[in-house]
A and B are shown apart, each in its own frame.
Chain A
Amino acid sequence: MEPAQIATTVVWCGVGLGVVFGLVANRCNFCTMGAVSDIVNMGEWGRMRSWLLAIAVGILGANLLAYFGYLDLAKTSYTGAVVPWLAYIVGGACFGIGMTLASGCGNKTMVRIGSGNLKSLVVLVFFGIAAMMTMKGVLGVFRLQVLQAPMFVLKIEQGQSLPAIIAGLSGGDLKATQLLVACVVAMAIAIFVFRDSEFRQSFDNKMAGVIIGLVVTAGWYVTGHLGLGENPDTLEVTYFGTNSHLAESMSFTGPTGYFLELLIYWSDTSKFLSFGIATLIGVAIGSFIYAMSNRSFRLEHFSSSEDMLRHIAGALLMGFGGVTATGCSIGQGLTGVSTLSLGSFLALFSIIAGAAVTMKIQYNMMMAED
Chain B
Amino acid sequence: MNLLRRSFLNHCAYLGASALAVAAGMLKPLIAFAADWNKAAFDAASLADAMKNAGTAGAIESKDLLLKVADHAENGAVVQVEVTSKIPGTTSIALFVEKNPRPLVADISFQNGAEPYIFLVTKMAETSRIRAVARAAGKSYFAAKEVHVTTSGC
A269, B73: Cα distance in complex, Å:
11
**B153 contacts A by Cβ under 8 Å:** yes
Please give, as numbers and ranges, the residues of chain B lying within 8 Å of A233 by CB-CB distance. Answer: 80, 119
CB B130 to nearest CB in A, in angstroms, measures 15
Give A234 to B154 CA distance when docked, in angstroms. 22
Q: Provide the main secondary structure of the chain B interface.
A: loop
Instruction: Kindly state whether residue A2 has any CB partner on chain B within 8 Å.
Output: no
Q: In angstroms, how far is the closest chain B Cβ from the Cβ of A232?
A: 11
The verdict on A136 contacting B70 (CB below 8 Å), with A233-B80, A234-B80, A234-B121 known, is no
B78 contact set on A, CB distance < 8 A: 234
Interface: A243 (CB within 8 A): yes
Whether A243 and B70, one on each chain, are in contact in the complex, defined by CB atoms closer than 8 angstroms, is no
Residues of A within 8 A of B72 (CB): 265, 268, 270
Residues of A within 8 A of B64 (CB): none
A254 contacts B121, C-beta separation under 8 Å: no
Does B71 touch A at the CB level, under 8 Å?
yes
Tell me the minimal C-beta distance from A242 to chain B in angstroms: 12
List residues 105-154 of chain B with CB under 8 A from any CB of chain A: 119, 121, 150-154
The reply on A17 being an interface residue by CB < 8 A is no
Is the C-beta of A60 less than 8 angstroms from some C-beta in chain B? no
Chain B residues within 8 Å of A234, by CB: 78, 80, 121
Q: Is A323 an interface residue (CB 8 A)?
A: yes
User: Does the CB pair A254–B151 fall under 8 Å?
Assistant: no
Decide: B154 and A254 in contact? CB cutoff 8 A. yes
Q: Chain B residues with Cβ under 8 A from A35's Cβ?
A: none
Complex partner residue of B154 from A265, A268, A326, CB under 8 angstroms: A326
Given the known interface contacts A136-B151, A254-B153, the answer about A269 and B70 at a Cβ–Cβ threshold of 8 Å is yes
Q: Is the CB of B70 within 8 A of A323?
A: no
Residues on the A chain within 8 Å of B152, using CB: 136
Cα(A143)–Cα(B31), bound, Å: 47
A158 within 8 A of B: no
Assess whether B80 is in contact with A323, with CB atoms less than 8 Å apart.
Answer: no
A135-B153, A234-B121, A326-B154 known; A268 vs B71 contact (CB < 8 Å): yes
The yes or no answer to A96 lying at the interface (CB within 8 A) is no
Q: How many Å from the CB of A154 to the closest CB on chain B? A: 18
Interface status of B43 (Cβ within 8 A of chain A): no
| Proximity string of chain B (71-86) to chain A, C-beta cutoff 8 Å, 1 when within and 0 when not | 1111000101000000
Contacts of A144 in B (CB 8 A): 151
In the assembled complex, the CB of B15 is this many whole angstroms from the nearest CB of chain A, namely: 43
Instruction: Give CA–CA (A326, B152) in the complex, Å.
Output: 13
CB distance from A279 to the nearest CB of B (A): 16
A205 to B80, CA, bound (A): 49
A270 touches B153 (CB 8 A): no
Q: Does A77 contact B (CB under 8 A)?
A: yes
How far is A304 from B74 in the complex, measured between Cα atoms in Å? 41
Which residues of A in the span 245-268 have a Cβ within 8 Å of any Cβ on B? 253-254, 257, 265, 268
A58 at interface, CB cutoff 8 A: no
Report the separation of the CA atoms of residues A326 and B151 in the bound assembly, to the nearest whole angstrom: 15
CB of B136 to closest CB in A, whole Å? 27
B153 touches which of A136, A141, A265, A269 (Cβ 8 Å): A136
Q: Which residues of A contact B70 (CB under 8 A)?
A: 268-270
| Pair A270/B151 contact, Cβ less than 8 Å | no
A323 to B151, CA, bound (A): 13
Chain A 140-155 interface mask (CB, 8 Å, partner B; 1/0): 1100100000000000
**Chain A 289-333 interface residues, beta-carbon cutoff 8 Å to B:** 323, 326-327
Q: Determine the distance from Cα of A238 to Cα of B121 in the docked complex, in whole angstroms.
A: 16
6 A–B contact pairs at CB < 8 A? A136-B153, A140-B151, A140-B153, A144-B151, A270-B74, A326-B154
Chain A residues with CB under 8 Å of chain B are 77, 135-136, 140-141, 144, 233-234, 243-244, 253-254, 257, 265, 268-270, 323, 326-327
Given A77-B154, A254-B153, 14 extra CB contacts under 8 A: A136-B150, A140-B151, A140-B153, A234-B78, A243-B153, A253-B154, A254-B154, A257-B153, A268-B70, A268-B71, A270-B72, A323-B153, A323-B154, A327-B154
Which residues does B use to contact A, with CB under 8 Å?
A: 70-74, 78, 80, 119, 121, 150-154
Sorted from nearest, which 6 A-B pairs have the closest CB atoms?
A: A135-B153, A136-B150, A270-B70, A323-B154, A326-B154, A270-B74
